[in-house]
Amino acid sequence: RFKEAFHKKGRMIPFDQVESLVGHAPGGVCPFAIKEGVPVYLDESLHRFETVYPAAGNDHSAVRLTPE
């Protein structure tokens, strides 16, 4: 679906570039407190879950949310 939406194959950000591009170190990349201008997308398939646990800024934390 990524390729359908963005017209290119999805790929992971290289490990050594994650923190400088997004604002969080690898292992804790989350949709909160990221660098300005970084888009956040929700995979629509997550709507089938009542609760989701995105990372919360480091590799030892998570936050409990609903997809809404």
pLDDT 10s digits, 11-54? 989 999 999 999 988 887 888 889 999 998 888 899 999 998 88
| Alpha helices, DSSP H, located in 1-68 | 2-6, 18-22
Quick one: pLDDT band at residue 1, thresholds 50, 70, 90? confident
Domain limits, the chain: 1-68
What spatial distance separates the first Cα and last Cα of the chain, rounded to whole Å? 20
Question: pTM of the prediction?
Answer: 0.67
Q: Residue 57: its pLDDT value, please?
A: 67
How many other CB atoms sit within 10 Å of the CB of residue 64? Answer: 9
CA torsion through residues 57, 61, 67, 68, sign: negative
Q: What angle do CA 45, 39, 68 make, to 5 degrees?
A: 40
The CATH label, of 3.40.1190.20, 3.90.960.10, 3.30.365.10, 3.50.50.60, for the domain at 1-68 is 3.90.960.10
